[in-house]
Structure 1
Amino acid sequence: MPAPVSSIRNLGPATDAAYARAGILSAEDLRAMGPDAAYERLLQSGSKPHFIAYYAMVMGLQGRPWNDCQGAEKTALRARFDAIKARVAASGAGPDSAIEAILDRIGTGRRR
């Protein structure tokens, strides 16, 4: 039986359901995808972006505690996180895409 996503350090039981909604059903699936592709898929499935959740997952995949991320490493991870968010937003997927579509339809959305 495959290990649950929550078996990865820093990831709790609630992450199993969120990752399952994204089609990531096991710790092995998450490791095989890598942190950035997995987090992008997580956002595309409707999860809200959260920087600490992202870097805690990255640290967990490395077997490190979530609060081990500091300095230049944290700055670099923030840039990766922001790039993931931007790709998801540009694709029209993610947690805010439905409201954005409605606002665009009634003429009050962001100017493109």
Structure 2
Amino acid sequence: MSTPISSIRNLGPATEAAFARAGIHSAEEVRAMGADAAYLALMRAGTQPHFIGYYVLVMGLQGRPWNDCQGDEKKALRARFDALKAEAAPGPASRLDAELDALGVIPRRS
């Protein structure tokens, strides 16, 4: 039996729903992925990146209160978050393709 994602400290029903949209359905899956891979999956599934959401996840996986992140640790997490955000963002060609597709210029693949 799997454990709900909301059983992870600091995470609630909204985060659980976001993970479900990303195809992640248990706390065990989140723990196995780790904070970085799990948050990257959220962003790739359409969750808007937000630094607080990222470090809340990191703190929760460590069993710590969400507001326990400070100083140099917070700066290091910010650098990791920025790298994840850059990795998740579509490149210029992808954005162009997305816009052309939205306009119907690029035929949809079946």
TM bin, normalised by shorter chain, reads 0.7 to 0.9
Q: Which residue of 2 aligns with 1:18?
A: 18
Question: How many pairs does the alignment contain?
Answer: 102
Counterpart code for 2:41: R
Provide runs of 4+ in structure 1 moved above 2 Å. Answer: 97-101, 103-106
Q: Which residue of 2 aligns with 1:102?
A: 99
| TM-score, normalised via structure 1 length | 0.82
Q: What value does the CA root-mean-square deviation take over the aligned residues? A: 2.5
Secondary structure of 2:2 counterpart: coil
Q: CA deviation at 1:16?
A: 1.1
How much identity, in percent, do the aligned residues show?
68
Summarize deviations over 1:45-80 as a string: whole Å, max 9, x none: 000001001000000000000000000000000000
Q: Which 5+ residue runs of structure 2 have no aligned equivalent? A: 104-110
Match runs of 1:1-112 below 5 Å: 1-90=1-90, 101-102=98-99
Matched residues in 1 for 2:95 and 2:7: separation?
A: 32
| TM-score, normalised via structure 2 length | 0.83
